[in-house]
Amino acid sequence: MQLNGCRSFRSMLGSPDLSLANNAYLGIPSRRWDANAWKRQSSSAEQLPVLMSLFGGEMSLLRSPLQPPSPGFSFDLTERNAVLGRLLEGSPPPRPVKTGTTISGMVFRDGVVLGADTRATSGDIVADKMCAKIHRISANMYCCGAGTAADTQKTTDLLASNLALFSLNSQRAPRVLMAASILQDTLYRYGGQIGAHLILGGVDYSGNHLYTVGPYGSVNKLPFVSMGSGSMAALGILEDRYKPDMEVEEAKVLVRDSVQAGIMGDLGSGSNVDLCVITARTVDYIRPYQESQYTNGRDRKYKYPRGTTALLSEKVVPLRVELVTEAVQRMETH
């Protein structure tokens, strides 16, 4: 589950649902506050002192996004949520948005196989049926992303650019452990505000590697893994049929079946199955590896003849264009 981004405190005060009738908490006379009229009559510079006088210490708990984060573990967001919950008592809370994805990966004898579905959702709406969830990091590394599409794409793009600069400066291929460490540091720094659940797979001189990186910076190295809303069904297939040192065709079928199990068991996952096979010599990005067996075939053609919709009235307005000047200039050519 992922919460929608909270509106700014100043924009929330503009809602007509916000009232200062919380006498028990604010300790001011009971009356309806016309926030819209107050915003129209006062400027932003005049509004801030009023807010500070009304809410006092509560405003000090709302950390500015421009302030640097405190070292170590920070619970500023918990305090902020508690303050906003008291200030917005009686108003509807932000609606949670469920993100749907099934991504899987496993290590086989000669490399790593990654798999993902291709459905991108926006709430209850299927926004994209051919979303690419397997991102290229480098020539020997790919990464599957689940969660918020913008966060996963931006995070993997930044990682790819950093590793490209490293390769140009050192003339060496990046290690998979280096990429996992960069992802861990980046996501931990933001404390879970980046909704990226990642599976990183690759092959380097030290062998075949498969890592999972959570949105809070947790890292695990596993022989097989699945993430996303359909991961429970996919993990059941992987745990039942995984064997060490599998052949490439067996590994491709197993990852395909695990993603397909997530598609069948989760409404947020669907459409096709993409695979990426990474070995020491080649990378085979198969898109799609398996197309969806459910197609929306139309039983009839929805084309209506002219005149089906009645024309009630018609008005033609002539457009008069006056040509002021016209000149022709001849270009000299040699």
Strand order in 273-279's β-sheet? 224-228, 102-107, 111-117, 273-279, 283-290
**Which residue among 78, 99, 101, 279 is the active-site one?**
101
Q: What is the identity of the amino acid at 190?
A: Y
Q: Phi-psi region for residue 176, left (φ > 0), alpha (ψ -120 to 50) or beta?
A: alpha
| Beta-sheet pairing, 224-228 with 125-128 | unpaired
d(CA 15, CA 35): 7
What lies within 8 Å, CB to CB, of 38 at 6+ separation is 47
What lies within 8 Å, CB to CB, of 136 at 6+ separation is 142, 160, 285
d(CA 326, CA 313): 39
Nearest to 235 by CA among 255, 249, 219: 255
What lies within 8 Å, CB to CB, of 127 at 6+ separation is 120, 121
- Is 101 an active-site residue? yes
Residues assigned a catalytic role: 101
